[in-house]
Amino acid sequence: MTTDNSLYQYFLTLIETKPSSEVLDKLHLLLAETEYYPDVEVQKMVKNIVCSPNTKGNCLSFLNNICQICIAYWIVEEDAKSIIYRLLNLFKELNLSEKKPENFIERWQEESQAFSGSSEYLKLQRLSHIINPRLSSDAAKPQVLGDLLGRYPFLYKGCLADHYSLPEYINFLAGFKRHQQNSFQEKFNRTIVLQKQKIEVARLRSMTSKIPQPIQVVPNPTLLNHQAFRTAVETFIQLTPSRIKNQTIFKLFFQIKSSPFKIFKIWLINYLTEGLKEESKQQLNPYLQANIPTILTDCDAQPLNGFLIIRTCNQLLNQLILNPTNPSSHLSFINLQRYLGSTELTALLLKLTVLNSKLKDSLRQRLAHIFDYYESTSIEESLRLIQVLENCLLAFTISQEDSRIL
List the chain domain ranges. Answer: 6-138, 176-398
| C-alpha–C-alpha distance, residues 136 and 126, integer Å | 10
What is the pLDDT at residue 283?
87
Residue 382: pLDDT band (50, 70, 90) is very high
Asked if residues 172 and 74 have their Cβ atoms less than 8 Å apart, the reply is: no
Q: What is the pLDDT of residues 313-343, one digit of tens each?
A: 999 998 888 777 776 666 778 888 988 999 9
How many Cα atoms sit within 13 Å of 372 on the Cβ side?
21
What is the pLDDT at residue 100?
67
Residue 130: pLDDT band (50, 70, 90) is very high
What is the pLDDT at residue 97?
64
Residue 136: pLDDT band (50, 70, 90) is low
Q: Is 400 or 345 the better-scoring residue by pLDDT?
A: 345
Phi, psi of 132 (to 5 degrees): -150, 85
CA 164 to the chain's CA centroid:
16
What is the pLDDT at residue 405?
35
What is the pLDDT at residue 197?
78
Asked if residues 224 and 188 have their Cβ atoms less than 8 Å apart, the reply is: no
**Average pLDDT, rounded, for the chain:** 88
How many Cα atoms sit within 13 Å of 184 on the Cβ side?
24
Mean pLDDT of 190-201: 80
DSSP states of 80-107 = HHHHHHHHHHTTTS----SPPSSHHHHH
Asked if residues 246 and 238 have their Cβ atoms less than 8 Å apart, the reply is: no
Q: Is 307 or 218 the better-scoring residue by pLDDT?
A: 307
Query: Measuring CA to CA, which residue among 51, 193, 41, 64 is closest to residue 121?
Result: 64
Amino acid at 143: Q
pLDDT at 2 over 50: no
Strand partners, 303: 260
Query: Measuring CA to CA, which residue among 194, 20, 27 is closest to residue 115?
Result: 27
What is the pLDDT at residue 403?
35
What is the pLDDT at residue 56?
92
Q: Is 53 or 175 the better-scoring residue by pLDDT?
A: 175
Residue 66: pLDDT band (50, 70, 90) is very high
Mean pLDDT of 30-46: 93
Query: Measuring CA to CA, which residue among 52, 55, 74 is closest to residue 124?
Result: 74
Asked if residues 159 and 149 have their Cβ atoms less than 8 Å apart, the reply is: yes
Q: What percent of the chain has pLDDT over 90?
A: 65
What is the pLDDT at residue 404?
37
pLDDT at 399 over 90: no
Q: Where does 240-387 show beta strands of DSSP type E?
A: none
Angle at 158 between CA 367 and CA 130, to 5 degrees: 100
Amino acid at 179: H
pLDDT at 216 over 70: no
pLDDT at 213 over 60: no
Q: Is 115 or 404 the better-scoring residue by pLDDT?
A: 115
Mean pLDDT of 103-107: 89
What is the pLDDT at residue 406?
30
